[in-house]
Structure 1
Amino acid sequence: MDKSLVLAEPAPDTTGMRYRMLETIHEYAAERAATDPHDQAETARLHAAHFLALAEEAEPLLRSAAQLPWIRRTETELDNLRAALHTAVATKDTDTAQRLVFALDWFWWLRNYRVEGAEWATQAITVTPADPPEGSPAYWQYMRLRVLHMFLRAEGNTPDEFSTPEYRALAARIKEAFRHGSPETTRFPGMLWPMTAFLTGDALDFHADLDRTIENCRRHAGDWELGVTLMLRTHVAIDITGGLPTVDADLAELHEIARRVGDRWTRAQVASAAGEVALSRGRYDWARAEYEECLRLAHEVGAHVEAPFAIARIAEAAYCSGDMAAAEQLLAEADLESERYGGVYDVRAYARLLGAMLALQRGDADQARAECERARAEGAKMTVPPQFTAGLDGVDAVLTARENGPAAGLAKIGPALATAVAAHCAERVLAGLADTAAVLLADADRPAEAVRALAAATAWRTGHPRSVPEEAAVAGLPDRTRALLGAARYIQEETAGTSLSPSDLAGSLTGN
């Protein structure tokens, strides 16, 4: 240090001093090291062993209440950890390469190093013997590595990437290995094996498989792993027909798990799930408070990918409560946050959909159409949920009606509702499409059908209120149709509408 061969500076993670060389000194030292290959290799091996031990010490703590200093420490040592991975791969040290990848997998996911993590997982696979004996420790290491590789590759790759025969065969193999349950199948990301079939589009048994992995985690895993699978089931349930009444028990258990684990990411995800439930039940102030808590925790733990999504959902809560100015401002913030961290496709797609809905509220059809096109373009980069497609189709039907008349809009809304029904979208989504159909039917001088559609939409909501924009869209419709039909006929059609199922209404709109 006195001769400036080594420079010292305080570590950013407050763990003491850190030492580095000027680049010219570093190059000279590397040249000297290369003169003794055996000594150089042994030094690299010791370096890799040291940082493997650090990574494995940090791994469980990154998912605990003690995570913040360990996140900072792992981030500080990231170049050393990369060098250790490089050594393991270059020397074909399979054990060290695999252990380093598994020690860092959650860090990569949490801190949005997912593309880099996928590259390291690829390299670890190249030094791992394929097809080890089934049931052996090497077999489970290999299968976990393949699951991790799929999940990390899902970031930044289009759905077509996983629709190949190769990936479908891999997903089927993963399902066969993990579905029977054992302690080996509950470690991250192995317990999320049902999602591999979802990536490839072969999700016929997805819900049953999700229940199976939750029960396996109850038997063999810790709170954190169980919490992740329960969170997945909660988010899925909120979005499917008949799912909302089932989420309360899981949500209550998740709150307890989050309290015990202390992991801020878990707590953020539980707040996000609670916010989604509140939105679905028309509790917009509660939803906003939950998403603001999710955002606070995401920022605290540095889960930068989660932050723009939380901001966009706060914008949705503002939109649903009628605060359009706040919704516009929050959407702009979500865009900035998303761009700051490399563009989060699902957030950008969702934000564009919400932007289209806001433009409709302002009466700006051109802007709404442009936002729809942008939303579809962003959605093409990922596997979009059916409720996203339903939302876009609903806006498209309204815009088509404004451009070409109500009959043209009805020609869009019928198939949109049929598609949403087939995808088992949540009642809230189906009811929104039915509301749009009711308005278009009334505009097309079909008042009796309009009354039935509106009554059906109200019944599907099971007592949960319409949002402010939804209420505004159907305002005056009952008085308008009652004046045309008369009170007695109105009541008759309304009663008939309350017994219509989503399939019934979709069939009547499409002529099926």
Structure 2
Amino acid sequence: MRYRILGTTQALRTDGTTVPVGGARLRALLTVLALRPGRTVPVSVLVDEVWDGEAPADATGAVQALVGRLRRALGADAVESVAGGYRLAASGDDIDLHRFERLVGDGLRALTDGDPAKAAGVLDDALALWRGPALADLPDRTAETARCETRRLDALRARHAAALALGQAEQSLPELTALCDSHPLDEPLQALRLRALRDAGRAAEALAAYEDLRRLLADRLGSDPGPELRALHGELLRPEEGAHRDGSGPRAGTSSSGSGWGAKGAGQVGGEGRAGNLRARLTSFVGREADIDAIRGDLAAARLVTLLGPGGAGKTRLSQEAAEAVRDVARDGVWLAELAPVDDPAAVPEAVLTALGARETVLFGAGAEEIRAGFERHDDPVVRLVEHCGRRRMLIVLDNCEHVVEAAARLVEQLLERCPGLTVLATSREPLGVPGELVRPVEPLPEPVALRLLADRGAAARPGFRVEDDPEAAAEICRRLDGLPLAIELAAARLRMLTPRQIVDRLDDRFRLLTSGSRTVLPRQQTLRAVVDWSWDLLDSDERDVLRRLSVFAGGCELAAAEAVCGPAALDALGSLVDKSLVVAGPSGEGGEMRYRLLETVAEYAGERLDES
């Protein structure tokens, strides 16, 4: 069975014939389930979305009855009953919306890879799935529909960017003009239209269109065109820089327009500086190339990606390197919001607002009265963030969320719901728990990469240092420090006064040994003990007790042994400790039963706490 929700909700058999789904509520139920194929949808969510906040007296019974009707229409196995809710027995590719999302991602990647012909074909297939307004049968579809329409506009922009790269400017102009009329303040779309006019040999019209747009932005928003449009205007004034002498425009594949996380180059035109506040890094970045590639893919697939790992795993640095790798497709910039210094969870929105430089915001497309009203709401940083991010395509790196995780999660959910062009890359020691979150574990460095890091930082601390001079000691340092980048860097700093073998001999007292961190970082990142102290302080009493008791297992343990030693709190606390990156869980070699172990550094710390208790 396949389902269509990009238009009136429909169910289709494998032969393409339509299955009648009569009744508005029945179609609404199918829409809600199809939005989450293969996932459990709680009864409370079904009630809220199908009845639009006006729940019937017996809500559970009403849902059961409606599910029964849907099963009679689609087949008994189409909707599965699971604990707490129901699940549509379908994969993402069985739903036209999810096929559309996949095809758009493929098309954007093809455009990034310099294959506009493939991009055009894939994007045509994606856009052909639309048969009308998205989620037409969902009673309250404002937020989700806005997201779908934004993605459709992304696809349209990318399709026209491919057309321009293929030399099809004349064919694109009619639809581009209509799109610009419907979205007059969409600068990337306007830039595509100007390029199409230029490439079609109508540079004078392009200059006139730019002037009209400049006046519109000044009248409606009180602002000038952005860097991309200004750079294009400069090309139009100097045609020899922007087109061939025969007026044929740029060569196929050289168009710099595009949109979405797969469209490289959308945020930088003509050498203009790129928006954002990422700072230059002061040390080399060793390894993690595969992680950066994986995160690029994650950001193309999800709007919230959380890098998860223990303290000292290198999440902050990895997030900044990954953000740097995708900044060309964040049209309105990559912005780093550091939450580590924030003590009060209520201050999280203000901290993000400050990081974005968004204290003065403008309501896109608003009139003068609405703009004044926006400024009057200066006491609500969330409102100002929504106004600032609402029509922008940008990436926010939200660093160090663990100590304010609930406040960070609430803010991220609100922003993602109300700002369809926003993507968030978070770092934390536990998941944010926001719907749609994609969690990317940051694993310890494998030995070859850890040795490279030790060699690099060791040579900086003591010129002439080489791991090859004592490879066994160097390898033992990396192994016993669990491949944690921060711990390895602290060990490298000790090479100014100790040999690798002397460091190994003192690792049984690692918390006294590894204390020579950078003076410019936060105190909790200057020593190994401070790093683990920070994680310990975020635990509740049950979690601390279980962690202490687990330290008695030298090579890890299975659940039965953990429960025998840790008592009835073991199961819940273990799950929480795994989420908080303090316990590593993985199947054992025999029988595949899950096994739980502590990193050596965490085990030593927890053992000290056990002795103290």
Q: TM-score, normalised by structure 2?
A: 0.26
**Which structure carries more strand by proportion?**
2
TM-score scaled by length of structure 1: 0.30
Determine which structure has the larger helix proportion and give its number.
Answer: 1
